[in-house]
Amino acid sequence: MAQPTSTPDALREPTVRVNGLFLAGLAVANLGIMLAFFTPILNLLPRLSEEIAGASGKEAALAVVTGVGVIGSVIGNPLAGALSDRTTSRFGRRRPWILGGSLLGLVGLILMPHMTTVFTLTVLWLVVQFAVNSAYAGLTATVPDQVPVDQRGLASGLIGLAQAIGPVIGVGLVTYVILSIDGGSYVTAVLFVLFVLPFIFILKDPPLPKEDRPPFQLGPFLKGFWVSPREHPDFGWAWLARFLVSLGFAMATLYLLFFLQDHLDFPPEQAGQQQTTLLLIYTLGMVLTAVLGGWISDRSGRRKIFVITATIVMAIAGVILAFVPADTAGFGIAMLAAVVLGIGYGWYLGVDQALITQVLPNPDDRARDLGVINIANSMPQVLAPVLCALFVTELGGYTSLYLATAIITLLGALAVIPIRSVR
């Protein structure tokens, strides 16, 4: 159905295919976002937690820092998304948030290694999460804003590929090139901004006319963050599926450095190098499936079967990790699990984001609704540290932890089945 001529450009459903420069800029910007998220989570924060709390308190310290800090993600992403939907700047709706979030995140990452207590590190990581998620909210919304449905699988695949490469670049740099925590934090901050900001100049971000901006009333604004699963069941199922898969993935990766140190008995420096090796192998698996999976999904017009299959593959990786022998000889099996996880997660990211953009309830609130979806990405970062610590210290160690990740991930596959508006 044709869009009404009165609909402003900023709110129209995209029909014109985006070019290669847009897709490349989108992928590189997402690479920067993921580098800023995961280099601290996978390497810098565990090292800082151990430096501050000592070897005996590192798990609890990391759980506090990441668990509390992710509140910045839970709040920052949907809030920035909702405000960007209402932004009437002449520079567009999304650009101001991408720029502002990037600059605030730059400052926070630079300050991070200078925190000397768990409390100050937690507060600063909360600010960094808020800032990076504000930029991410604006960036994510450009897909339903600009990319037509028949290109969204390809766009999602490129985003998924960038999300895999970002952590590898970040962890590789702070493990092999810049070994100090200070230097690692600085280079993470600079690369974050260098990768994200070029997209501001590529993006054609039509401004929202002030007369088309929804009136701001605090009550309705806050209520808007609740998307009724009864009224929008497909959105509800997509949210639940993303939450479960994200929880399984977070539990599988959060304690990876400690898994290599404490379960496979690698010394700390070698454990960091082996962590990078696993990330490289995992990324190779993602490279094989992310873009290809998204492209095939676009060509076939189907999303659900690819998401379900990819999620099952991810669960298999959890089962493999559960039975890795408790010594360095088990590293070969861990590498196999990394390949399987990469293949599954790349396939998943290449299609699931496209599926989600097709179940958004309202084109006027794309960024807000994507922010609500991002809560499904963020809340697991709160739960995962608590669950990981519980499984590792009280409920059977790493075997029970990775079996739990497999079960949770399989539940995510089941949650996709009831979605009806997307094939």
pLDDT in tens, 153-187: 888 888 878 877 888 888 889 888 888 999 999 99
DSSP class of 216:
P
d(CA 106, CA 128): 8
Distance, CA of 169 to chain centre: 16
**Letter for the amino acid at 149?**
V
d(CA 271, CA 275): 6
Residue 3 included in any domain: no
At residue 2, the pLDDT reads 44
Element (H, E) at 389: helix 366-394
d(CA 346, CA 286): 4
The answer to whether residue 363 scores a pLDDT higher than 80 is no
Q: Give 79-121 as a 3 state SS string.
A: HHHHHHHCCCCCCCCCHHHHHHHHHHHHHHHHHHHHCCCHHHH
The answer to whether residue 141 scores a pLDDT higher than 80 is yes
DSSP class of 180:
S
Instruction: For residue 20, give the 3-state DSSP assignment.
Output: helix
The answer to whether residue 1 scores a pLDDT higher than 60 is no
At residue 269, the pLDDT reads 75
d(CA 213, CA 229): 26
Distance, CA of 262 to chain centre: 27
**Could you give the angle at the alpha carbon of 151 between the alpha carbons of 248 and 142, nearest 5°?**
75
The answer to whether residue 114 scores a pLDDT higher than 60 is yes
- Residue scoring higher pLDDT (199 or 72): 199
Give me the CATH number covering residue 394.
1.20.1250.20
Residue 247 included in any domain: yes
At residue 378, the pLDDT reads 74
Which of 123-132, 164-173, 259-268, 358-367 has maximum average pLDDT? 123-132
Rounded to an integer, the average pLDDT of 349-367 is 77
Percentage of residues of the chain with pLDDT beyond 70? 94
Rounded to an integer, the average pLDDT of 353-381 is 76
d(CA 7, CA 248): 41
Output the six-digit token pair for 84: 């960007």
Residue 64 included in any domain: yes
At residue 376, the pLDDT reads 82
Number of folded domains that form the chain: 1
Burial class of residue 218 (count of CB atoms within 10 Å of its CB; 0-12, 13-18, 19+): exposed
Buried b / exposed e over 26-53, threshold 16 CB at 10 Å, is: bbbbbbbbbbbbbbbbbbbbbbbbbebb
The answer to whether residue 3 scores a pLDDT higher than 60 is no
d(CA 92, CA 201): 12
DSSP class of 214:
P
Rounded to an integer, the average pLDDT of 306-322 is 92
At residue 185, the pLDDT reads 94
Residue 81 included in any domain: yes
Which tens digits make up the pLDDT trace of 13-46? 777 888 889 999 999 999 999 999 889 988 899 8
At residue 275, the pLDDT reads 81
Which of 59-73, 114-128, 201-215 has maximum average pLDDT? 114-128
Residue 221 included in any domain: yes
- What pLDDT band is residue 11 in, cutting at 50, 70 and 90? confident
Determine the structural domain holding residue 26 and report its residue range: 18-207+217-416
- Residue scoring higher pLDDT (91 or 75): 91
Helices 304-322 & 398-416, crossing angle to 10 degrees?
170
The answer to whether residue 280 scores a pLDDT higher than 50 is yes
Query: Closest Cα to residue 314, out of 286, 276, 355, 272?
Result: 286
At residue 317, the pLDDT reads 92
Percentage of residues of the chain with pLDDT beyond 90? 31
Output the six-digit token pair for 277: 């090796």
- Residue scoring higher pLDDT (10 or 317): 317
Residue 397 included in any domain: yes
The answer to whether residue 393 scores a pLDDT higher than 90 is no
Residue 6 included in any domain: no
Which of 146-150, 168-172, 242-246, 269-273 has maximum average pLDDT? 242-246
d(CA 69, CA 223): 24
The answer to whether residue 300 scores a pLDDT higher than 90 is no
- What pLDDT band is residue 221 in, cutting at 50, 70 and 90? low
